[in-house]
Structure formats: structure tokens, C-alpha cells
Amino acid sequence: MKKYKVKKYHKFTLFRMKIFAVIIAVLIWIIYLFFGTGESINVELENVSALKISSDLVIEIRNFAEKYGIEFSEFFTYYSLENNFFENKIESDEKIEQNFIMNYEKVKSKYNFKEVKKYYDLINNIYNDIKLFPISPEFIDEYIYGDSWGGERTYGGKRIHKGCDIMDRENIRGRIPIVSMTDGRISNIGWNEQGGYRIGVVTENGNYYYYAHFDSYEKGLEKGKTVKCGDILGYMGDSGYGKEEGTKGKFPVHLHIGICPKTELTEDELWINPYPFLRLIEKEAEDIK
Ligand SMILES: [Zn+2]
């Protein structure tokens, strides 16, 4: 009979092999932790821009996040990714709890963490920047707005509306004060053909917040000046849609809000629908009252 030679390892060699195995296991664990299982993300940037979330769902998500002790921006990011940024479906509360929250860790592990972070940063930076609704609470009954993203605009060429319009119910220029939603620095102030008298504010993280169609500016504002959230920027108006500075009355009195965040998702400008964030901050202010 053939005799197999059993190789005997020296005790020290065995010990080294064990240590090696442990190191490999730890390395795999770290890679898994940081990069997930690596499913690449395939979301249309157009959907990210449009953020098609129903006005109630964004509040629901905030409430669920609170209930289950999950950070809002993280929850919002994974929920959005699972729903292709809301292009596919809006689910009922029960479904969110059963399909999403109960499988939350599983959902998270599906995605490449480094990829997710780009979406997370975008959501989280805007969410943290906006501390106030752009109209002070005394005027809560004086304005009206909805999700006006994507509407067709024709002035200056056919294009889609990349912002959110907040209308004066009375349509009277110069009566509703507009306040800064964020802390930041004024990077643009003055006339532009489409936006009329407009102000651009850049926050510390590089996000850009655009306020347009002012009737007049608050005194003392100039390019480079820092503003705090709640500072009055000016008064709601209907300026714009004219090559000549001071053109007014081409449309109803309203404030146009635009958000263009700094993002790693693309090198181009990526405007984000402000509506969900405005709804959220408005609801938070109501809850505090
Ligand atoms: Zn607008």
C-alpha cells in the first residue's frame, strides 16, 4: 500500500498561517465595510435633479428616520436610490416599513459605499445648509407654492424650469420680505436678463443658492458680503425677462429659488429641485410653533 507522507508543520509555521488568515479576513471585512458589495449605481442625473418626491413623502421619510433612529440624509439617499430618485414609484407607509426599513442593512450593503457617498453628500449638504424658509413666518398666509420643477419656459429660448416659484397671493410687488435660507457669502448681486434683480449666495461647502425677480434689494448688500440665515435679502417682485435693467411686470410677483450644489456626480452644473427641501423646512418651522 502506498503511504502518503503527511507533511507536518512546525508549530511556529502554523501560528503564522493562522495570523495570516486573520489578517486576510480583517482586510476583506474592511473592504466590504467601505465599498459595500459594489453594485454600481445607475441613476439618471435628470431624476436626481428633479427629485420627484411627493410633498407628504418627504415628511414621512423624516418621521420614519426619527422613529427608527436613522439619520435623515442617509435614509433619504438610500430610499431615493432604491426608487431611482422617485421616477418609479411612491409607496405606502406600510410598504416602506415592510420592504425598506426592515431590510435597511441589506439595502445598504447592496450599494458601493463610495458611490453612495456622492449622492449622500449632495442631499446632506443641502439639508444642512437650509435652516429657514425664504419667507419669514409673519407672511405665512401671504404666499403659495407647489412643485413647479420642469415646467416649460420660453423666454430666452425653450427650456425647462429649474427651480421653485413662491408666489405672492396678492400679486403686489415689494411687500413680502425675502430672507436668506442659509449662511453664506453673496457671490452675485445685480441685474440678469432672465432673473431680473437676483442674488446668489454660496455656502461654506460650495453650494449655490439663487434668488431671483426681486423688486428691490435690502440696503447694504454687495458682492462678497457674508449673510446669516434669516437676514433680509430684499423684497419679492416681478423683475426680469428683459434686456433692459429694471424690466418689471412680465409675469406675476414671485420669488424664484434655485439650488446648484457642488457635487462629484458630474462636472456640469446640476440644479436640484428645491421643493422637497422647502416643504421640509416649512414643516419643521410649523412643528416648532
Ligand atoms: Zn421660477
Ligand 1: distance of its center to the CA of 195 in Å? 8
Of 93, 110, 129, the one marking the end of a domain is 129
**Is 220 among the domain residues?**
yes
Q: How confident is the model at residue 3 (pLDDT cuts 50, 70, 90)?
A: low
Distance of CA 260 from the midpoint of ligand 1 (Å): 14
Residue 248, pLDDT score: 97
Of residues 118 and 17, which shows the higher confidence score?
118
If asked whether residues 186 and 277 sit together in one domain, one would say yes
- Whether residue 6 is predicted with pLDDT greater than 70 in this model: the reply is no
Give me the residues paired with residue 188 across strands. Answer: 200
Quick one: 199 and 95 in the same domain? Answer: no
> What pLDDT digit, counting tens, does each position of 113-157 carry?
899 999 999 999 999 999 999 998 899 999 999 999 998 888 888
State the distance from the centre of ligand 1 to the C-alpha of 164, rounded, in angstroms: 5
| Residues 224-244, mean pLDDT to the nearest whole number | 97
Distance 160 CA to ligand 1 centre (A): 10
The pLDDT assigned to 255 comes to 98
- pLDDT, position 88: 62
Distance CA 166, CA 38 (A): 41
Residue 23 lies in a domain: no
Q: Is residue 18 part of a domain?
A: no
Å from CA of 236 to ligand 1 middle: 12
Q: What is the pTM of this model?
A: 0.85
Name every residue whose Cβ is closer than 8 Å to that of residue 45 and which is 6 or more positions away in sequence: 265, 266, 270
Q: Average of pLDDT values for 254-267?
A: 97
Residue 167 Cα to ligand 1 middle (Å): 10
29 domain-assigned? no
Centroid of ligand 1 to alpha carbon of 166 (angstroms): 8
- Does residue 77 sit in the same domain as residue 173? no
Which of the listed residues 95, 111, 129 is the one where a domain comes to its end? 129
Q: CB–CB of 100/79 below 8 Å?
A: yes
- For the cut 60, the answer to whether the pLDDT of residue 1 exceeds it is no
How close is the Cα of 158 to the center of ligand 1, in Å? 14
**Ligand 1 center to 54 CA (angstroms):** 19
Residue 143 and residue 284 in one domain: yes
The answer on 196 and 80 residing in a single domain is: no
What's the domain count of the chain?
Answer: 2
253 belongs to a structural domain: yes
160-199 pLDDT per residue, tens? 999 999 999 999 999 999 999 999 999 999 999 999 999 9
In this prediction, residues 242-268 reach a mean pLDDT of 96
Domain containing 159 — which CATH number?
2.70.70.10
Q: Are residues 124 and 152 in the same domain?
A: no
Q: Is residue 144 domain-shared with residue 284, that is, in the same domain?
A: yes
CA 159 to ligand 1 center in whole angstroms: 12
**How close is the Cα of 105 to the center of ligand 1, in Å?**
39
Average pLDDT taken over every residue of the chain: 90
Q: Give the pLDDT band of residue 90 (cuts 50, 70, 90).
A: low
Q: Which three cell numbers stand for residue 226?
A: 457674508
CA 48 to ligand 1 centroid distance, Å: 19
**How far is the centre of ligand 1, averaged over its atoms, from the C-alpha of 64 (Å)?**
31
- State the pLDDT at residue 231: 98
Residues 51 and 192 in one domain: no
Q: Is residue 210 one of the residues assigned to a domain?
A: yes
The alpha carbon of 148 and the centre of ligand 1 are apart by a number of angstroms equal to 8
Same domain, 284 and 142: yes
Among 105, 129, 153, where does a domain finish? 129
Q: Is residue 16 part of a domain?
A: no
**Tell me, what's the pLDDT at 38?**
61
pLDDT at 203: 98
Q: How far is CA 222 from CA 129, 130, 189, 275, in A?
A: 21, 21, 7, 27
**Do 142 and 282 have their domain in common?**
yes
Is residue 238, in this structure, part of any structural domain at all?
yes
Q: Are 264 and 118 in contact (CB under 8 A)?
A: yes
Range of the domain at 197: 137-288
What sections of the chain are H helices per DSSP? 11-35, 45-50, 55-67, 72-82, 93-95, 104-110, 113-129, 275-288
Do 64 and 205 share a domain, yes or no?
A: no
pLDDT above 70 (res 32): no
Distance of CA 61 from the midpoint of ligand 1 (Å): 26
Question: Is the per-residue pLDDT at 34 higher than 80?
Answer: no
175 and 282 housed in the same domain: yes
